[in-house]
């Protein structure tokens, strides 16, 4: 049986951005974003990550990819992406797999649109091209600097034409390359035979090779969210102030504090508990109001916590839940540590900008006005529709979208 196989080379070393492939954009590791893009296509049968790094391998398997362990000689700074692709193809063939089309995805492109991959695959299937790459339209003026002097490359500086009088050129984005497998093996390179391209949206063309580009991607991630991304959540942890409340407090003459909470949030917590999903309220401060609310909701509470992420890890271990299946909802910078370790970092819409940038999901309701209920409803809805693969998969088993 022939298959369309997505291969994501993701080595552990990186010069420009340390540990680049597991750094997060929109709350999701870069290598995981590439896996999600491949699995969301209508065309890809199997997703493989080629890596030399145990952490990357663990993330890849958690997100539903199969892992090929790349030898060190193919994972150095001088190793080509093609060498990783050809090695993956050799391993697949040894396992009895017959790849007809190879979809080469780069984790350094965090905003790949799955529909663009399907368009490229169809061009190969229809025998219109042998290889297809992603590109973005550009009218930019390119210059070369030689011996201190600048010279125009794609234009005559003395006769500059208006945009509407020029033909567009196309910039290779590096996001994906779709190739006939036999042609790739014969050529040993991603460009061969009849080369075609798929024009993609400019917003998807960001490629991360520097810390500045990573920061830019993190900043715009809240604007480029895939809300259909299902949440496979098995435990929910919430901050209190600014999440269960609107982040204000009322103090009487005796110094007694009171806050306003939402009954709707209370019902959301009750629904999670009935579904067997454990809930924890995790707060940096110690306050009788928090204790009273936790008792009312019949959920665990931890207060007066300086290192919230460590306490979250301990609680998740006690519950027997992997952090990859924990949702944490917060609003301020003391939540960043927790947001960085869970699979589903969530923010309220009025959260600090750094929290918004670190979050995979941003709810629409504000803190104290149904934010927790909205998260609970989505967790329970997606629990019925999330696709998953078993934690251990072999190279003989392609991924399947399953209804749990």
Domain assignments of the chain as residue spans, ordered by start? 2-139+165-223, 235-383
H helix or E strand, kind and range, residue 170: strand 169-180
Average pLDDT over every residue of 339-368: 94
What is the reported pLDDT for 392? 40
Confidence bin at 148 (pLDDT 50/70/90): confident
What tens digit of pLDDT does each residue of 247-260 get? Answer: 888 888 887 878 88
Q: Is the pLDDT of residue 389 over 50?
A: no
Please give the Cα distance from 298 to 275 (Å, whole number).
14
390 CB-near residues (< 8 Å, 6+ apart)? none
User: Averaged over 53-58, what is the pLDDT?
Assistant: 94
Q: What is the largest CA-CA distance in the chain?
A: 82
Instruction: Tell me: pLDDT of 59 over 70.
Output: yes
Q: How far apart are CA 135 and CA 145, in angstroms?
A: 25
* Cβ count near 338 (within 10 Å): 25
| pLDDT tens digits, one per residue of 180-214 | 999 999 999 999 999 999 999 998 889 999 999 99
- Tokens representing residue 236 in the block: 């929910």
- H/E segment holding residue 142: none
| CATH assignment of 235-383, among 3.30.2020.30, 3.40.50.2300, 3.40.50.1000, 2.60.120.10 | 3.40.50.1000
Residue 388 has pLDDT above 50, yes or no: no
Q: What is the per-residue pLDDT for 404?
A: 29
Q: Which CATH number fits domain 2-139+165-223: 3.40.470.10, 3.40.190.10, 3.90.550.10, 3.30.390.30?
A: 3.90.550.10
């Amino acid at each position: 049986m022939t298959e369309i196989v997505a291969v994501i080379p993701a080595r552990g070393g990186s010069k420009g951005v340390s540990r680049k492939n597991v750094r997060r954009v929109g709350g999701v590791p870069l290598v995981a974003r590439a896996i999600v893009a491949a699995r969301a296509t209508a065309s890809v049968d199997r997703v493989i990550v080629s890596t030399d790094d145990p952490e990357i391998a663990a993330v890849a398997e958690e997100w539903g990819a199969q892992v090929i362990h790349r030898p060190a000689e193919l994972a150095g700074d001088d190793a080509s992406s093609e060498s990783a692709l050809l090695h993956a193809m050799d391993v697949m063939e040894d396992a009895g797999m017959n790849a007809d089309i190879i979809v080469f995805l780069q984790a350094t492109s965090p905003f790949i649109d799955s529909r663009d991959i399907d368009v490229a695959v169809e061009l190969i299937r229809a025998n219109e091209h042998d290889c297809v790459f992603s590109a973005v339209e550009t009218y930019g003026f390119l210059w070369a600097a030689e011996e201190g002097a600048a010279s125009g490359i794609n234009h005559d500086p003395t006769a500059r034409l208006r945009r509407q009088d020029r033909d567009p050129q196309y910039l290779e984005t590096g996001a994906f390359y779709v190739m006939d497998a036999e042609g790739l093996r014969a050529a040993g390179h991603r460009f061969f035979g009849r080369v075609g391209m798929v024009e993609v949206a400019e917003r998807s063309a960001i490629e991360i090779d520097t810390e500045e580009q990573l920061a830019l991607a993190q900043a715009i991630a809240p604007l480029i969210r895939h809300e259909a991304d299902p949440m496979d959540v098995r435990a929910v942890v919430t901050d209190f102030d600014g999440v269960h409340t609107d982040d204000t407090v009322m103090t009487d003459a005796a110094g007694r504090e009171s806050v306003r909470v939402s009954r709707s949030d209370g019902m959301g917590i009750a629904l999670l508990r009935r579904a067997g999903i454990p809930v924890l309220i995790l707060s940096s401060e110690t306050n009788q109001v928090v204790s009273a609310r936790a008792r009312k909701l019949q959920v665990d509470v931890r207060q007066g916590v300086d290192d919230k992420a460590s306490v979250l890890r301990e609680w998740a271990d006690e519950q027997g839940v992997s952090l990859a299946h924990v949702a944490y909802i917060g609003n301020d910078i003391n939540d960043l540590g927790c947001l960085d370790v869970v699979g589903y970092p969530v923010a309220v819409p009025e959260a600090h900008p750094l929290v918004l940038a670190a979050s995979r999901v941003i709810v629409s309701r504000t803190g104290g006005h149904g934010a927790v209920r909205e998260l609970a409803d989505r967790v329970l809805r997606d629990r019925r529709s999330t696709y998953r693969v078993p934690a251990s998969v072999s190279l003989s088993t392609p991924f399947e979208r399953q209804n749990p």
